């Protein structure tokens, strides 16, 4: 062991080798409104290696110390450009059998050429890295991002050369202090599973742009935030179809404007979108935005001023072929299948799905519930865990702020009512309303199964209440369900955000035989008959649209899948319960 290679000696004695890296967190502040901005892809084959002991971060492989001060070669434990290759984006679990259940660090690296085209700022956007990502460009540490499901941006302006190397350490280890924590009911995918792209921008650019229906009166409300907090002058907003060209005064890098307008409102049946352009200096940003309102009055939900029922279904972000790296075609496929089931709404559980989901939902007309993975037994008393959760919520809201389809931000799922959990979740709910007063905030709550009543202190802080209940399945005594509803007198709309039962595709039997399609149908029929009797139920989203991979489900009939789907995992087969929901939604009236 060479005494000169301090890196090696130092590295094997470091107790917490990650602490120095954590000092440079990449957060929602790095986000850039980038819809339709020109991007150059860094997708493709990257070299990779499994790094179970995190040696890259410990021994600083990214510094590429090949020689000592006198030019003598050091012995190396890595070789970036002769490693095997993996496709980016993809989930490493589906790359090879040896990686299927791998949890830990994988080091990704590639070289790329960069030629300046006169731009002043250059960023690299990572669409998603599950779960932590540590990024190095040309031997320099750029920062780390925590959270598997939202994009992050890195300013590489000052480190780029003509020829560049990027190294990314991705670690998908489940952690007690993670968001989600180490125990979930879905498959733990890992990797650079969404696009990696280069953005070239002017020195002063539009960093964040929002446009929505004004909450008061007729018109639109626009906000613009530049990357330069000292910038002045004005931005110009154009919506040609509405004959709008409006100046937005900019002071200290920000501006906002109320604009008289009377747009055709966006609805699931008529998803009208407008082409929007906002310009500042030599930067311009395009968007396609639908305008609609969503609000709660008493126990009713109003969409564009009309009462609405949310006829939905839950979905994980997964396909058999691509895992969590779902394609746009796969998203369009399950929206079409949901529409055929007479859905106007989907609950994208339990974490932010690809940003394409809301963009496509805007086009095809699907209302969305989007959620952060504050799931089950999060460490609610841990400040850093809260900061992580709040950052993921901020990243979710900022990326979707202009999406007509998204009507609900959910701050979590099935967290038992406790003091530290209440403080954690109400803070998230209040943060959501502060960032985005135009949308409803919710959570999928548990019921009080002892007293058989809907009660949760969090209800005071959310607009619309999700209730997960599994009467007829995890609670076999179905008669408790109607008691629960009759004992409850909620002052806010209730969505049954989860109900359901397992059913193995094609497995038939009696209505009482668990895991058969017949039993699942029997559970659905009794659930539906009960919902019809309860006026304060304003939406349902059965769990779940399609079967999904889950390491907790080891019964041979399940075969490591959660089989509560209405569809098979490949979405090719419709179980009888799909048709029960299709019929219910066709006739359920507000
Ligand atoms: C829970 C949870 C889901 C889970 C489901 C089930 O309600 O929210 O994530 O998959 O129940 O047990 O199938």
Say what the pLDDT of residue 340 is.
98
Give the C-alpha separation, 205 to 211, whole Å.
17
* Residue 460 pLDDT > 70: yes
The pLDDT tens digits of the residues spanning 219-236 come to 999 999 999 999 999 999
Cβ of 564 less than 6 Å from ligand 1: yes
Say what the pLDDT of residue 10 is.
64
Say what the pLDDT of residue 347 is.
98
Give the C-alpha separation, 502 to 564, whole Å.
4
Mutate to test the pocket of ligand 1, among 180, 181, 185, 545 (most ligand atoms within 8 A of CB): 185
Distance 399 CA to ligand 1 centre (A): 26
Tell me what the mean pLDDT of segment 280-292 comes to.
97
Distance 443 CA to ligand 1 centre (A): 14
Cβ of 414 less than 6 Å from ligand 1: yes
Distance 578 CA to ligand 1 centre (A): 18
* Eight-state DSSP code of residue 438: T
Cβ of 283 less than 6 Å from ligand 1: no
DSSP string, 283-349: EEEEEEE----EEEETTEEEETTEE--EE--EE-S-BTTTBT---HHHHHHHHHHHHHTT-SEEEE-
> Burial, 415: exposed, middle or buried (Cβ in 10 Å; 0-12, 13-18, 19+)?
buried
Cβ of 543 less than 6 Å from ligand 1: yes
The pLDDT tens digits of the residues spanning 517-540 come to 999 999 999 999 999 999 999 999
In the numeric block, which tokens belong to residue 378? 């999060």
Residue 515: strand, helix, or coil:
strand
Q: Could you tell me the pTM of the whole model?
A: 0.97
Distance 545 CA to ligand 1 centre (A): 12
Q: Which atom of ligand 1 is nearest to the CA of 502?
A: 13
Give the residue, by CA position, lying nearest to ligand 1 atom 4: 185
Q: Which atom of ligand 1 is nearest to the CA of 468?
A: 7
Q: Name the residue among 276, 265, 261 with its Cα closest to residue 217.
A: 261
The pLDDT tens digits of the residues spanning 8-47 come to 566 667 678 999 999 999 999 999 999 999 999 999 999 9
Q: Which atom of ligand 1 is nearest to the CA of 562?
A: 13
Please provide the distance, in angstroms rounded to a whole number, between the alpha carbons at the two ends of the chain. Answer: 74
Please compute Rg for the chain using Cα positions.
25
Say what the pLDDT of residue 11 is.
66
Whether omega for the bond prior to residue 88 falls within 30 degrees of 0, making it cis, is: no
> Burial, 383: exposed, middle or buried (Cβ in 10 Å; 0-12, 13-18, 19+)?
exposed
Cβ of 468 less than 6 Å from ligand 1: yes
The pLDDT tens digits of the residues spanning 57-109 come to 999 999 999 999 999 999 999 999 999 999 999 999 999 999 999 999 999 99
Instruction: Indicate the average pLDDT of the chain.
Output: 96
% of the chain residues with pLDDT over 70: 97
Strand partners, 294: 303
Instruction: Tell how far CA 248 is from the center of its chain.
Output: 31
Give the C-alpha separation, 566 to 523, whole Å.
12
């Amino acid at each position: 062991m060479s005494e000169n290679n301090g890196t090696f000696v130092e590295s094997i004695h470091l107790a917490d080798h990650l602490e120095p890296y954590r000092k440079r967190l990449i957060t929602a502040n790095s986000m850039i409104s980038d819809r339709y901005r020109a991007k150059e892809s860094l997708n493709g084959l990257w070299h990779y290696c499994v790094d179970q002991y995190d040696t890259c971060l410990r021994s600083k492989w990214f510094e590429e110390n090949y020689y000592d001060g006198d030019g003598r070669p050091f012995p190396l434990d890595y070789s970036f450009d002769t490693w095997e290759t993996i496709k980016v984006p993809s989930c490493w679990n589906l790359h090879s059998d040896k990686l299927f259940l791998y949890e830990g660090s994988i080091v990704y690296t590639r070289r790329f050429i960069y030629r300046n085209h006169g731009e002043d700022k250059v960023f690299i956007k990572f669409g998603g890295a599950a779960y932590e990502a540590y990024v190095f460009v040309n031997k320099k540490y750029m920062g780390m991002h925590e959270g598997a499901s939202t994009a992050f941006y890195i300013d590489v302006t000052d480190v780029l050369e003509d020829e560049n190397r990027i190294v990314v350490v991705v670690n998908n280890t489940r952690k007690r202090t993670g968001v989600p924590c180490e125990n979930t009911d879905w498959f733990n995918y890992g990797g650079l599973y969404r696009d990696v792209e280069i953005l070239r921008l002017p020195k002063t650019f539009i960093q964040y742009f929002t446009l929505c229906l004004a909450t008061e009166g007729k018109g639109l409300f626009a906000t613009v935030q530049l990357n330069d907090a000292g910038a002045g002058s004005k931005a110009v907003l154009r919506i040609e179809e509405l004959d709008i060209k409006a100046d937005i005064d900019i002071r200290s890098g920000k501006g906002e404007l109320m604009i008289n307008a009377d747009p055709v409102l966006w609805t699931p049946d008529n998803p009208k979108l407008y082409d929007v352009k906002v310009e500042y200096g030599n930067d311009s940003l395009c968007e396609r935005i639908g305008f609609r309102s969503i609000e709660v009055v008493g126990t009713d939900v109003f969409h564009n001023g009309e009462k609405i029922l949310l006829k939905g279904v839950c979905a994980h972000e997964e396909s058999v072929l691509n895992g969590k790296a779902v394609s746009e075609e796969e998203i369009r496929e399950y929206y079409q299948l949901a529409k055929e089931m007479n859905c106007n709404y989907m609950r994208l559980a339990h974490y932010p799905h690809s940003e394409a989901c809301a963009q496509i939902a805007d086009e095809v007309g699907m209302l969305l519930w989007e959620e952060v993975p504050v799931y089950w037994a999060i460490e609610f008393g841990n400040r850093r865990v809260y900061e992580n959760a709040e950052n993921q919520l901020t990243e979710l809201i900022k990326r979707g702020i202009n999406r007509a389809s998204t009507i609900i931000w959910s701050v979590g799922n099935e967290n038992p009512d406790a003091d530290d959990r209440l403080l954690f979740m109400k803070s998230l709910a209040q943060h959501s309303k502060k960032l985005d007063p135009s949308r409803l905030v919710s959570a999928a709550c548990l019921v009080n199964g002892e007293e058989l009543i809907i009660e949760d202190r969090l209800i005071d802080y959310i607009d619309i209440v999700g209730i997960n209940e599994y009467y007829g399945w995890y609670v076999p005594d179905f008669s408790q369900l109607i008691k629960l509803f009759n004992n409850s007198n909620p002052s806010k709309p209730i969505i049954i955000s989860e109900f359901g039962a397992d059913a193995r595709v094609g497995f038939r039997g009696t209505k009482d035989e668990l895991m058969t399609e017949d039993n699942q149908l029997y559970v659905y029929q009794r659930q539906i008959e009960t919902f019809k009797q309860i006026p304060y139920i304003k939406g349902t989203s059965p769990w779940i649209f399609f079967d999904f991979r889950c390491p907790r489900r080891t019964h041979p009939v399940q075969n490591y899948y959660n089989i509560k789907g209405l569809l098979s995992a490949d979405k090719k087969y419709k179980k009888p319960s799909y048709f029960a929901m299709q019929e219910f939604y066709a006739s359920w009236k507000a």
